[in-house]
Structure 1
Amino acid sequence: MSNWYFKSGNKTTGPLTLLEMIEFAAEGKIQETDLVREGLSNDFVPASQIPELNFNTDIDTEDSEIPLESLPLPEPRQRRGSSSLIFKLVALAGCFFLFIFILNVVTHEMQQSRDYARRLSSLNQLRLIGLGVINYASTANGYRLPVNARPTEKSPRHGWLTAILPYIGETALYQQIDFDHSWSAPVNHDIFQQKLSLYLNPAISEVVSPEGYGLSHYVGNANLFNRDQGLDMGAITDGLSSTIMILEAGENFDPWGAPANAVIPYQIMGPGNKPPFSNGRNVILADGAGRFISDSTDPAVLKAMSTPAGGEPVEVYEAAFP
Structure 2
Amino acid sequence: MAGKKVNEVPSGQRNVAMVFQNYALYPHMSVEDNIKYGMKVHKISPAEIDKRYKKAIELLKLDGLKNRKPKELSGGQRQRVALARAIVKRADYFLLDEPLSNLDVQLRVSARKGLVELHDIFQQTYVYVTHDQTEAMTIGNRIALFNKGELQMLSTPEEVYRRPKNVFTANFVGSPPMNIIKGRYEHGDIWFNEINYDLHDDWCKLISEKNSSDVVYIGIRPEDIILTKAKDRFSVKGTIKYMENYGNKKGIYIDVGKTEIIALVDNMEYEYGSQINVIFSPEKIHVFDGQTLNSFINRCWTCKCE
Question: What range describes the TM-score normalised by the shorter chain of this pair?
Answer: under 0.3
TM-score between the two structures when normalised by the length of structure 1: 0.21
Which structure: larger Rg?
A: 1
TM-score between the two structures when normalised by the length of structure 2: 0.22
